[in-house]
Amino acid sequence: MFSNKLARTPRSKIFQSILINFTNDNFELANDINLQQYGKDSDTVISNATVQEVCAANPNLKYLNLNKCVELTDAGLWAIARYCQELRDIKLRGCNKITYVGIRSLVIKCDNIRNIDLSECSNLNDDALRVIAGNLRYLQTCNISGCKSITDFGLGDIARGCHELSDLNVSHCKKIGEFGDRALVELGKYCKKIVTLDLFGCRHVSDCGLRAIARGCMDIETFRVSGCKELSGRAVQYFVTRCHHLTNVAFVDCARISDEDLSAIAKRCVELRTLDLSKCTSITHVGIKYLLKGGNSLIESLVFS
Cα–Cα distance for residue pair 228/204, rounded to 1 Å: 6
| Under 8 Å between Cβ of 108 and 135 | yes
The whole-model pTM stands at 0.92
Q: Residue 219's closest CA among 247, 240, 191, 193?
A: 193
Does the pLDDT value for residue 126 go beyond 90? yes
The separation between the first and the last C-alpha atoms of the chain, rounded to the nearest angstrom, is 55
In this predicted model, what pLDDT tens digit does every residue of 185-215 receive, in sequence order? 999 999 999 999 999 999 999 999 999 999 9
Confidence of residue 42 (pLDDT cuts 50, 70, 90): confident
One-letter amino acid at 75 equals A
Grouping H, G, I as helix, E, B as strand and the rest as coil, residue 224 is: strand
Instruction: To the nearest 10°, report the CA torsion of 155, 158, 159, 164.
Output: -140
pLDDT digits (tens, 9 = 90+) for 201-259: 999 999 999 999 999 999 999 999 999 999 999 999 999 999 999 999 999 999 999 99
pLDDT in tens, 115-124: 999 999 999 9
Cβ-based neighbour number of residue 107 at 10 Å: 22
